[in-house]
Amino acid sequence: ALGALVRVRPGERIGLDGEVLVGQSSIDQAPITGESLPVEKGPGDKVFAGTINQSGALEYRVTAAAGQSTLARIIKAVEEAQGARAPTQRFVDQFSRIYTPVVFALALAVALVAPLFFGGLWFDWIYRALVLLVVACPCALVISTPVTIVSGLAAAARKGILIKGGVYLEGGRKLDFVALDKTGTITHGKPVQTDFRVLDARFETTAQHIAASLGGRSDHPVSMAIAQQAGEQPLAEVSEFQALVGRGVSGKVDGVLYHLGNHRLVEELGLCSPELEAQLDELERQGKTVVLLLDASGPLALFAVADTVKESSREAIAQLHALGIKTVMLTGDNPHTAQAIAAQVGIDEARGNLLPADKLKAIEGLYAKGHRVGMVGDGINDAPALARAEIGFAMAAAGTDTAIETATWR
């Protein structure tokens, strides 16, 4: 009910939209917004139904009923978008409602009325009425599937592409604009460590191992990405480990207290110099999440984590451009990340901080400019745009059931 207080433990899914009252945590919003990394939430922040609480307990007040939640609005938008018909389709439907009864009426008139006025055998007039029906109703053309369409569908299936029907195969050649989601479509959807800089020469050989040992005790995706850099090397023993919600972790390695945390933690500890600030800003502008290893003396090393681009993405975008098709990225991630990823693969335009309804509006805006639009995505957050696009392409292996069902190519 509206105004109800709900407590969510780590690992639980948030059931209704609301506003946080007590607690801090990292929220995985990828199913709704498409953001590749968890978002820190605290008192006053909004949380969405369908997202997952990862690190800390939260208490929030419900601000929307089940039927009015963000997830419910996405489902409604999908239904409305699927029901939206192209102008030509509406014209054909309206025309057929008039044309078909008229043809049947004429055929009946030829079979029943004409013999009364013109004479002749009833059988001959019935035959002529059937000829009229066959000529006036080209059903054979409608129900017969051209060999080229069957061949195209079979060839696509052999390459792992499933197409819902020949009409979508034919429609693909008309596209002149393709919108793409970022997470799981252009990128792998899994953060990895991309940068490592030693800030204190004393830790040239040990900083990565210490950070990996601390990160290995946390289930946060950023910490896990750093921990994976240890490879097969055994992690160090960590004592007095503590998760600092919204900031990072801390613990003792070989009796020394270390912190592994974000920009906010460095500022709280009063260890952020102008030189360090410049490095953090440089990496954050590239769409990367920056983490620092610190001890009592100051910053020891810097790590950057980001969602990496698929090897095939640049080639795919280049092939679209070679066909004269323009591209735009529509993502719930921040604009810096969107611009950085778009630049890496050559996408013409990037738009960030988009909710599912915003993606739908972007598709409709392209339609309003006269474009024939395709949409590529993999998540629930892409479903309304996939349904509204002339052709929807879903990443079937990594996509949600909603996205796959909504798309026309998968």
Average pLDDT, stretch 236-258? 89
First to last CA, the chain: 38
Here the contacts of 102-108 (C-beta below 8 Å, separation 24 or greater) are 103/132, 103/133, 103/136, 103/137, 104/133, 106/132, 106/136, 107/132, 107/133, 107/136
Give me the DSSP letters along 150-204. HHHHHHHHHTT--BS-HHHHHHGGG--EEEE-STTTTEEEEEEEEEEEESSGGGT
In this structure, what token pair is assigned to residue 192? 């990895």
- Average pLDDT of 367-393? 87
Q: What is the pLDDT of residues 308-322, one digit of tens each?
A: 888 889 999 999 999
Question: What pLDDT, on a 0 to 100 scale, did the predictor assign at position 84?
Answer: 47
Q: Which pLDDT score is estimated for 101? A: 82
How many C-beta atoms surround the C-beta of residue 61 within 10 A?
Answer: 14
Whole-number pLDDT of residue 144: 47
The pLDDT assigned to 188 comes to 84
Q: 57: which residues sit within 8 A by CB, 6+ positions away? A: 7, 8, 9, 10, 23, 25
- What is the tens place of the pLDDT at every residue in 65-108? 888 887 777 676 556 545 544 455 556 566 667 777 888 888 88
192 versus 220: the higher-pLDDT residue is 192
pLDDT in tens, 281-291: 889 888 788 99
Rounded-to-integer distance, Cα 306 and Cα 247, Å: 17
Mean pLDDT, to the nearest integer, of 342-351? 94
Q: What percent of the chain has pLDDT over 70?
A: 85
Tell me if 50 sits within 8 A of 32, measured CB to CB. yes
- For residue 228, the one-letter residue type is Q
Query: How many residues in the chain?
Result: 410
pLDDT at 86: 47
Query: How many Cα atoms within 13 Å fall on the side-chain side of residue 359?
Result: 38
What is the mean pLDDT of the segment spanning 34-47?
82
Task: Check whether 59 has a pLDDT greater than 70.
Answer: yes
User: Mind telling me the catalytic residues?
Assistant: 181
pLDDT(303) > 80:
yes
Give SS3 for 324: coil
pLDDT tens for 328-344 read 999 887 788 889 899 99
User: pLDDT at position 146, please?
Assistant: 55
140 pLDDT exceeds 50? no
Domains of the chain: 4-68 (2.70.150.10), 91-146 (no CATH), 174-186+310-406 (3.40.50.1000), 191-308 (3.40.1110.10)
The confidence score (pLDDT) of residue 206 equals: 92
Residue 110 has pLDDT above 70, yes or no: yes
Q: Is the Cβ–Cβ distance between 278 and 285 less than 8 Å?
A: no
